[in-house]
Structure 1
Amino acid sequence: MPLAGLVDLALTAPTFQRLIEHTADRPGELSLVGAARARLFAASALTRQGPLLVVTATGREADDLTAELKGVFGDAAAMFPSWETLPHERLSPGVDTVGTRLMLLRRLAHPDDARLGPPLQIVVTAVRSLLQPMSPQLGLVEPVTLSVGQEVDFEDTVARLVELAYTRVDMVGRRGEFAVRGGILDIFAPVAEHPVRVEFWGDEVTEMRMFSVADQRSIPEIAVDTLVAVPCREMLLTDDVRARAAQLAAAHPTDEGAITGSVSDMLAKLAEGIPVDGMEALLPVLRPGQPVLLTDQLADGTPVLLCDPEKVRTRAADLIKTGREFLEASWSVAALGTDAPVDIEQLGGSGFVELDDVHAAAVRAGHPWWTLSQLSDESAMELDIRAAPSARGQQRDVDEIFAMLRAHVTTGGYAAVVAPGTGTAHRVVERLAESETPAAMLECGAPPKPGVVGVLKGPLCDGVIIEGANLVVITETDLTGNRGTPADGKRLAAKRRNTVDPLALNAGDLVVHDQHGIGRFVEMVERTVGGARREYLVLEYASAKRGGGSDKLYVPMDSLDQLSRYVGGQAPALSRLGGSDWANTKTKARRAVREIAGELVSLYAKRQASPGHAFAPDTPWQAEMEDAFGFTETVDQLTAITEVKADMEKPVPMDRVICGDVGYGKTEIAVRAAFKAVQDGKQVAVLVPTTLLADQHLETFRERMAGFPVVVKGLSRFTDGAESRAVIEGMADGSVDIVIGTHRLLQTGVRWKDLGLVVVDEEQRFGVEHKEHIKSLRTHVDVLTMSATPIPRTLEMSLAGIREMSTILTPPEERYPVLTYVGPHDDKQVAAALRRELLRDGQAFYVHNRVSTIDRAAARLRELVPEAKIVVAHGQMPEDRLERTVQGFWNREHDILVCTTIVETGLDISNANTLIVERADTFGLSQLHQLRGRVGRSRERGYAYFLYPPHTPLTETAYDRLATIAQNNELGAGMAVALKDLEIRGAGNVLGVEQSGHVAGVGFDLYVRLVGEAVEAYRLAADGQTVTTAEEPKDVRIDLPVDAHLPPDYIASDRLRLEGYRRLAAASDDAAVGSVVDELTDRYGPLPEPAQRLVAVARLRLLCRDAGITEVSAPSEASIRLAPITLPDSAQVRLKRMYPAAHYRATTSTVQVPIPRSGGLGAPRLRDLELVQMVVDLVTALQGKAQQEI
């Protein structure tokens, strides 16, 4: 509670003491007047006499105030968030929002339950939540509560989670999901930071541990012994609700084609217990009874404090109006063609309540109604609190503030500077010391001392002067103008990295087998051979004989690493087993790959030969600049930053590519690299393809480097003559450190005094000659390239050392996922959606993908939403005009951008959070995915509406695509394909487009592997080593009477079982096998015997691969055979000594050994683990190595 001491000191002022005395007996009405920044102190003073509810006009104000109050009260302050959807929007609120709300209601209903946190002293909410009715008694719904040592019925717990609207899945990936595996229960509660793995022994909870969504492994650093899982929906499908829905549905039987999403359809689904989006709107008809308001849930006598009552009132009126529009739009669309089984007026009961009605209800219930306004009023009590002066980044003003602080503390006054990060706080102490002002860091929660400026880390936005307490408070925002976002400090672990599960196979999918070519996946089967059960994948190949049936190949699970899913440009023909066509296709691809590899390697050799500048290690300033970053870095970001710095500190020029989608934090890496270069006295060029990006980067770089002596300038077509001449002179004489610009930076006549780093953003969008120019830079300065098209991880690996790559696959902790609505186009709904965005001062994209009719679409929108400023942008406009239009949109001069798909990539407009796509049925999946990525990039909730014409039937593929995007679940197979599609584009950018034919021939994954082999061969040649032509890595076939498999009762889901097999088959050394075993044990419990044998076989394969053995088989029940193996004389002697009956045939390079018996004569022969151990001993002995235990 970092601000506790500071606030205590402030409240000693007479103005607050009077207020505390005045409110001791809780007067019914109270008007206060004070600046917006007085809220924190006023609310803290009012809480001295008991709990309090504070209401703000907007969600963002509530967020900021809650962060500040948590700095005073810790967990006793909390926010009651609003639904991010309007009541009739046909979208359900997010699980995390609902969870937070229900947890808070539970805390209000059970103040003494210590498991939920300390009793609440102060609750903050936006007016939206105050006006919204909810189901009665939500705080009394029993959550699932588990703690170690407790006895609960396992089956009942699972059933209860389903009742509380949790979704059962194979593998937990998001809040509100749970998975069951034997006696292990994984639960991701809506308010938890990480999911929890609960182990049961019968009905007793024996162990609990947090685990990471990213890799499903436990996180041992975080201890956990209790779990409280609140419901995931505010309207639960109890038996009563289902019966009521069934009754309503029966009263209005619909004809067969009930419109999906119509009221009748929703009721029918709810009656069967299937939750549907937007069902909360039916609350008044499904739970008849009086809905309650937030004020009804408060403890008796809790006052309500409205901040800025005038603003709150306006906001309330807007909300009621927009809510009404949605009520009419949604239900008229939804009830198309059928007489609605519910009366629309009745549904109005779940809409917002008038503010006056809430006021009256609160007063009736004995809740005092207080206001804190910024407008003075005769009868009001005025708070004596002023705004502190602010410099907003101007050095002269900063000096004046420091002088004021110095004067204030030398006369014995109290002063504090509040900064958001520890690094920034230390820097403030240094800067105060430089200006000869006494300053010291304060302990967390300590008050400032007289005579010294106390500097502390805490969440405070605006500075104040409180004369009654002789106190001046200045914040980081006052000094630099940067408003840090209140970082929770808590950050979710990385989401599961967006990789494509290589074998999420459905019957009929095409796969590539390294040795046999392209086949079609049929099924997964289990066969018993020689008493040993094993699982196989069945692949179908083209017939070897004309007119014959197709051939089948059974691939054992331990050689899954030979398979990859086929991804190429077009549908290929199946290969023939045993034919030469596959070998020829591969040879052709190999030849093509060699050329690319040669070019890449020659560039690499030049770089290695030319001396670059080795930058010095980080300076203290670097650490301070990085600490001031307003967000928590993702794991990938930190890795990338470390890699970039390591490259810069080497004496060879850097050439690194950073890949990651827009908004994944690439710019921050560039900022840190540029700052590092400037610290070494070097200049930095940042090259971007469009003037808009140049402006965006310029703003970011300036903001991040404010307060440091770094000169950042921009240079683009829109920079006027005089300014651009000054910038060019500054580059030549070294007075400008960083220049951010378009290809103007590459023109002749542009000279640098000492260029040390070039950052290239979106290189693939530059023209050919610009690319050549950039390529020539690569051999003598450090180059950092950023790309938003994802480059496949496999390609990244194969080019390791040539073009170093860092991939950022982890999305930043998005505060909210984008809400996606898929449905028929309706003008009323479009208007309501756009109005709702304007209501929160946001902007919207409206995508209409036909240039010929785009102006007509814009005219129609102007009629629907006359108050909006609407502008059109498309690719056929003159480039200059297009750039100015988009620039204007970014500068918030327009509200709605009606455009074609040009917004698909590279646009980062954080204030635009609604996307409406007309004729969404005509777009591809990856396009829809990319378009949706444009919104929801800031603290506001993003909305995407994918609309199709209401009266034309959709094609099946269009329907599938829209369904995939609507479900938006973990990257399903459809999404995976879209990602692959993007990856192929990314690969084209790295390798050159002319390779696409070869990619189609052999499939993408194998192609990338060939590139890796060729690059390695050239690299060895460049380093003067002899190169053996890349041999095909041979598959090791192990066919022994060993019952080795992952039993379905250990891993029930086929998909997850396949993943387990795949991971084991792909493990390349003993440590990797060990890591897979750890993960399996953590996720599914101890390995059963068949699984232990599978692991032993995996280790045996690695041993054989090292020894060059490709076959270990049992030709009969009595012997095993190893091939190929060449034994020198000494090894032959050793073999005869170990197994006198063994045979070695030099001509065929085979060894045949009898299988020993497990006891005396007549005992059964060895099998399973003992047999695997015997083969291991044999192979190690023949190689002359020490014995090893499997």
Structure 2
Amino acid sequence: MSITPLLSWFGALPGFAGLDAGRPLGLPRAARALAAAALWRERRVAVVYVTASVDASRQAADAIRTLLGSGVSERLALIRLVEPNTSFYDSVAPVADVLSQRAAALARLNASTRGGSELPLIVSSPRALMHPTLGAGEFAGDLRLIRRDMTLALDAMLASWVQAGYESAPVVDRVGTFSRRGGILDVWSPANEQPCRIELFGDQVESIRTFDPGTQRSAEFIERIAVTPLDLPAPSRAPAMLLDHLPGDGLILLDDVAEVMSAWQELEEKAARERALMEETGEAAEAAARLQPFVTATALQARLTHRAGAVIALGGGSGVDGSTNESLQPIAEGFGAAPHFGGKLQPAIDFLKARGSAPTLVVSRQASRLSALWAEHRPGATAHTDIESLPEHGALFVTGALPGGFQHGSGLTLLTDTEIFGYARPDTFTAGRARKAAPEKGFSDWKPGDAVVHEDYGIGLFRGMVKLTVNTGTAVEPVEGERAYLLLEYADGDRLFVPLHHLDRLARYVGGEDLQPTLTRLSGPEWQAAKTKAKGAAADVARELLTLYAAREVAPGHAFAEDSTWQRALESSFPYVETDDQLAAIEAVKADMRSDRPMDRLICGDVGFGKTEVALRAAFKAVQDGKQVAVLVPTTVLAQQHYNTFKRRLAAFPVGIEMLSRFRTPAEKARVLERMRGGDVDIVIGTHGLVAERAQFADLGLLVIDEEQRFGLTAKEKLKKLKVGVDVLTLTATPIPRTLHLGLSGVREISLIETPPAERLPIISYVGPFEDAVLQQAIQRELDRDGQVFVVHNRIATLHLLEQKVRRLAPDARIASAHGQMPERALSRIMQAFSDGDTDILVSTNIVESGLDIPNANTIIIDQADHFGLAELYQLRGRVGRSSTQAYAYFFHDRRAQLTEDARERLNTLREAAGIGAGYMIAMRDLELRGAGDLLGPKQSGHVSSVGLDLYTRLLAHEVKTLRAMRDGGPLPVEASKPITIDLPISVELPDRYVGGENLRLQLYRRVASLDDEAAVVAFEEELADRFGKLPLSALNLTYQARLKIAAGAFGAQSITTDGNRIVIRADAIERIPRLKLERLLGEDAIIGRRQVTYSRSGTPEQWKARLMAIVRALGEMSAAAPAAP
């Protein structure tokens, strides 16, 4: 997408070539980003463009990239300087992602100062710019350039990296980390888009390659890298700022001088209030000693004055020196406001017709729809993604997004979504696409003491990794070697050493909320009995699911039409960028609706991840086919939230939307019910009253159920009747285990939305004893930015005491209290007032645990946090952080009480796992159990607990496949065979010196145990060599063992072991292979039994290993060719 001709048009306007930096230009807002892009492209210097707010900086960056599009040359780099996600007087530094993004901006500016190839345009808000940076001299002093063939002082260099803010890590998958592994050095500098891998020969740099942080595989060779410091200025140093790094020929653009300076001063006043609050609580001295200062408005003014000749004020009003703009500069003459149509398309079409042949450029996310409408009046009109020139006459439609349009005296008119639809939707590039995690991240960390399930031996405790000495020589000439094992502890202190090739038989135990499972006795029959019972229960569930699936297959349903122009218009008007998961869920729902059988799909995703938008698009699709839609929610507050969302999103379309809840009077309810029966209501949103007998529809086509598990048994029974013959879409925020999701494939339609929306920030978590001062600071910080606060307490009896304390600490705030024993109507009004923003602080019990979606509430304070379970704490923390605003969660415990070990671990886990999606690491065990229970029914919970969720879901998946094969007449799935035992005289491990970090080694061991074909083993070997260097012998033996396991598995071998100097292969398939073939294969010294063969191990280790591999593969081929067993 490119609209570069608009830049050329602007550059040709009178006065552009001779802009006077001494006085403001006087441009309207819609033309300022255009001016910035044109100046950057024309002058080819580094530029810093300062807007008056965070939102304005985002819009400006979006607009500039849209304007330049594919026209951005390799020398131009557009960067939006991100704001720190902390307050001025926080005791913690901004999160690593924020620091790295800010450091990237400094790196680009410094590179341009040194004559680098890129010329950055950095867009910033006052909040981002006033946060101090390293000084230019400090930055240059800490910068390290590394070139190929260079000799490094490694230890000193790595120490300097740590001093510059870098962190040593086992895997480099984020900016600001490095990892040293023998002759391999990985590092990710903010100056680079991707991390780099330095291969060393001694201390000399042999090669430098970029690599993919997701696959960890190398990409292209490069000649040099710049390792720049992270943006961590020392508290004692005078504050520097980003403008100090701008080259001498650089340009500073101010969107509007007065607005920028006013916003800056307001932020200073906010900082002063924070400081005053700290002084009141006696923390000022501590703050002064530890905290960084900020750049004041006075310091900014001094810098602008110093560079006055390179500062351009794009707006009107005063200039940098305070002079006023009495007359427009020539460049601003001719600009006027474009008309606004507020989503009404006919007036917009009439405007275009009235303009006749006058040139009009329409830049819209809905360019295709608009051009189709215009084609009815001007045949041949189409939408473009790139244009080579502006229209000379008539209207030209371009797909894109700009913040606003204008009319110009030259005759050109620019219309955007702002004028046509009343909003400015960001383009897709604003979404920070989550990078793919490193390959072993799918294998969660196991800590000593964690309960794990061995498929063959039952539930034990993981006690760590151990190495045992083995003889890798012969009986005559023994040679000591090492082999790695996992140590598990079972009941009665029994121990099990699990070889590496059996790690695919292990899974973390998930089975009971915060309950330690009963350990299995290795010598007892309990485990096999538990597995048998669980398998039978899984078969029952599989039969029930298949019966329901079969019934849906033959039930008559309505096949909805393909997407209409209106459908595309609605979807184009979504003011956010859809995640890939969300788009996949939307497409799956549409495919179900187009089918002539009733849909029954479950959409699973966290609050704020976009489930409502999926439901809304489905509802609109149903309405266009003349069908009615019922949206059923568990609470009055949620009904109101959904009602507001549907009304707002569908305002431009003739859709009748109503709500049935306790907020409606009896007369209003009666009117809505009557209109439902008459077909005058298209979409009705309500609580359990929607399933009452008197609630009848003229032609119900779609039922949307939000959190069905929260409805009572009576409501669920009525829902069953309502579901007959209609499409059903169920939404839930309770996670469904991915293994269960895959296991139910084909019998239960489930869509998972796991990707957080763009620009979602990690929640900053604080854990500590309850203190009035910290409570007051947390509340005041949120109120100062016009936000709202949740304060949660664990007991109704003492809730009023906490409310009194909050009122004393925040006397000017609007405060309400709520708990579950209040009258329903009173509780709903309180919750609604908080949702509407009429209350600043809500003091409540954990009734806010789930459901509420209030983007303006971004601080939650949980008192007595040690009395809540991990899942509860995670869900409570999830009430905040559902927008681009930085969110905070405070977990307080009683300073006088002694924390239990479990409580301390829960709170520490929450503090450590603060990233987006950290819930998977910290609480998914508990939450997935709930999700599994909701999906499978409460009867299955005992069986899940007895064998663990992972094994139960595998049993269920097998039973589903079996029953489907029996129904369809297909081949039955093969029963999972017992694991093969491989015990050979070889060292098998990844040495510590080769792969550092026990967790990383364990994750790699689990990965290699799960490999199932030769290509996967080869790829794994290549990855190891790429990431860690040449494979040592014990690592090659690890992958050799994986190959042997795969080859032996092809004919169901039970074991491959040694007996002295002989190799023994046991397999039932051997008896089906002709003896003559075996003798030819194994040689004269072979002993051939009914189900085993034995032959001499001779030659070097490499020779006998190669022969063994050839024999095992040949046995597989012979077994496949042999007649099947009777």
1:603-644 CA-partner distances (Å, limit 9, x unpaired): 223223334445566567656655555544444334444444
Instruction: Answer whether contact 1:655 1:778 (CA < 8 A) is retained.
Output: no
Name stretches of at least 5 consecutive residues in structure 2 with no aligned partner: 473-480
Counterpart contact for 2:619–2:629, Cα < 8 Å: yes
How far apart, in 2, do the equivalents of 1:446 and 1:789 lie?
Answer: 50
Indicate the SS of the match to 1:469: coil
Rate the CA distance shift 1:1042–1:36 in 2: closer, same or farther, 3 A: same
Deviation at 1:770, TM superposition (A): 2.7
Offset at 1:986?
1.4
Structure 2 match to 1:255: none
**Residue 554 of structure 2: which of 582, 606, 609 is its match?**
609
- Assess, with a 3 A threshold, how the Cα gap between structure 1 residues 481 and 524 changes in structure 2: closer, same or farther: same
Q: Which letter maps to 1:505?
A: W
Alignment partner, residue 828 of structure 2: 883
Q: Which moved more, 1:32-41 or 1:1131-1140?
A: 32-41
Question: Which of 389, 401, 411 pairs up with 2:348?
Answer: 401
SS in 2 for 1:1107: coil
Give the match for residue 909 of structure 2. Answer: 964
User: Matched residue of 1:537: which SS?
Assistant: strand
From 1078, 1089, 1096, give the equivalent of 1:1155: 1096
TM-score norm. by structure 2 comes to 0.86
8 Å Cα contact 2:1085/2:1096 also seen in 1: no
How far 1:747 sits from its partner (Å)? 3.0
Does residue 94 of structure 1 match 2:95?
Answer: yes
Partners of 1:533 and 1:1045 within 8 A in 2: yes
Pick one of 293, 299, 314 that aligns with 1:350: 293
Query: Is 2:509 aligned against 1:566?
Result: yes
Shift of 1:886: 2.5
- Partner of residue 326, structure 1: 274
Aligned to 2:205: 204
Residue number in structure 1 paired with 2:1054: 1110
Structure 1 portions without partners, runs of 5+: 236-279, 544-549
Deviation larger for 610-619 or 370-379: 370-379
Aligned twin of 2:638: 693
Report whether the alignment pairs 1:505 with 2:482: no
Which deviations, in whole Å up to 9, do the C-alpha atoms of 1:437-495 show, x marking residues without a partner? Answer: 995546646553232122223442223233x3333222112222233135435643445
Q: Is 2:228 the partner of 1:230?
A: yes
Q: 1:506 Cα deviation (Å)?
A: 2.7
Counterpart check, 1:1184 vs 2:1121: yes
Q: Which moved more, 1:824-833 or 1:703-712?
A: 703-712
Cα 1:178–1:742 shift into 2, 3 Å: farther
Equivalents in 2 of 1:954, 1:224: separation in Å?
Answer: 53
- Tell me the equivalent position of 1:238: none
Identity %: 37
Alpha-carbon distance change, 1085 to 301 in structure 1, aligned in 2, over 3 angstroms: closer
1:320–1:352 CA contact under 8 A, matched in 2: no
Instruction: Show the counterpart of 1:661.
Output: 606
Alpha-carbon distance between aligned partners in 2 of 1:810 and 1:82, rounded to the nearest angstrom: 23
Give the C-alpha shift of residue 417 in structure 1: 1.8
Partners of 1:737 and 1:1008 in 2: CA distance: 40
Deviation at 1:139, TM superposition (A): 4.8
Q: Secondary structure at the match of 2:465?
A: strand
Compare 829-838 and 89-98 and name the one that shifted more: 829-838
* Pair 1:537-2:486 in alignment: yes
1:1170 and 2:1107 matched: yes
Question: Corresponding residue for 1:381?
Answer: 327
Tell whether the 8 Å contact from 2:61 to 2:78 is kept in structure 1 after alignment: yes
1:1035 offset after TM fit, Å? 2.0
The answer to whether the 8 A contact 1:814-1:937 is kept is: no
The amino acid that maps onto 1:232 is: L
TM alignment of 1:1041-1052, pairs within 5 A: 1041-1052=985-996
Cα distance between partner residues in 2 of 1:500 and 1:993: 31
Q: Is the 8 A contact 2:136 2:244 kept in 1?
A: no
CA contact (8 A) 1:678 1:684 kept: yes
Separation in 1 of the partners of 2:769 and 2:275?
16
Q: Who is 2:931 aligned against? A: 986
Partner of 1:392: 342
8 Å Cα contact 2:425-2:575 kept in structure 1: yes
Does the aligned pair in 2 maintain the 1:1156–1:1166 contact within 8 Å? no
Counterpart selection for 1:861 from 786, 800, 806 = 806
> In 2, distance between residues paired with 1:1011 and 1:717?
42
> Aligned match of 2:423 in 477, 482, 487?
482
Aligned 8 A contact 2:258 2:317 in 1: no
Q: Which moved more, 1:152-161 or 1:1100-1109?
A: 152-161
Distance in 1, Cα, partners of 2:79 & 2:278: 33
Q: Is the partner of 1:553 in helix, strand or coil?
A: strand
Matches within 5 A, 1:189-338: 189-190=189-190, 194-200=194-200, 203-204=204-205, 206-213=207-214, 216-218=215-217, 227-235=225-233, 283-284=235-236, 287=237, 290-294=238-242, 296-298=244-246, 307=255, 311-312=259-260, 314-330=262-278
Question: Is the 2:349–2:374 contact (alpha carbons within 8 Å) kept by the matching residues of 1?
Answer: yes
Residues 1:1038 and 2:978 aligned together: no
Count of matched residue pairs? 1095
Question: In 2, distance between residues paired with 1:375 and 1:366?
Answer: 14
With over 3 angstroms needed to count, the CA separation of the structure-2 counterparts of 1:681 and 1:1141, relative to structure 1, is farther
Counterpart CA distance in 2 for 1:907 and 1:688 is 12
Contact 2:216 2:438 (8 Å CA) reproduced: no
The whole-number CA distance in structure 2 between the counterparts of 1:622 and 1:370 is 43
- Aligned to 2:393, the other structure's residue is in SS state coil
* Aligned residue number for residue 998 of structure 2: 1054
* Alpha-carbon shift at residue 910 of structure 1 (Å): 1.6
Contact 1:845 1:896 in 2 (8 A): yes
1:492 corresponds to = 433
CA contact (8 A) 1:655 1:783 kept: yes
Q: 1:966 to 1:227 in 2, by over 3 A?
A: farther
Which of 408, 415, 425 aligns to 2:360? It is 415
Say yes or no: does 1:851 pair with 2:851.
no
CA distance in 2, matches of 1:404, 1:233: 51
**Residue 980 (structure 1) shift:** 0.7
State the one-letter code of the partner of 1:1184: A
The separation in 1 between residues aligned to 2:1097 and 2:245, in whole angstroms, is 77
Aligned residue for 1:259?
none
- The structural deviation recorded for 1:723 is 6.8
Post-superposition offset of 1:53:
5.2
Partners of 1:1142 and 1:651 lie apart in 2 by 64
**C-alpha deviations, 1:979-1003, integer Å up to 9, x for none?**
2111112111112224333333323
After superposition, the Cα gap between the structure-2 partners of 1:1182 and 1:313, relative to the gap in structure 1 and judged at 3 Å, is closer
Query: In structure 2, do the counterparts of structure 1 residues 574 and 826 end up closer, same or farther at CA, with 3 Å as the change threshold?
Result: closer
1:734-883 correspondence runs (5 A): 737-752=682-697, 754-776=699-721, 780-883=725-828
Between 295-304 and 899-908, the greater mean CA deviation after superposition: 295-304
Residue pair 2:470, 2:987 contacting (<8 A) in 1 also: no
Distance 1:807 1:304, change over 3 A: closer
Taking structure 1 as the reference length, the TM-score comes to 0.82
Per the alignment, residue 275 of structure 1 pairs with none
Q: Would the alpha carbon gap of residues 857 and 437 (structure 1) be closer, same or farther in structure 2, given more than 3 Å must change?
A: farther
C-alpha RMSD of the superposition: 4.2
Cα shift readout 1:638-694 (whole Å, capped 9, x = no counterpart):
444444444445544333322221222333433444455556665544333234333
8 Å contact kept, 1:614–1:651: yes
Give the counterpart of 2:54 among 48, 56, 59.
Answer: 59
1:442-457 aligned within 5 A = 444=386, 446=388, 448-457=390-399
CA distance in 2, matches of 1:722, 1:46: 63
Q: CA deviation at 1:38?
A: 5.3
In 2: Cα distance, 1:476 partner to 1:761 partner: 32
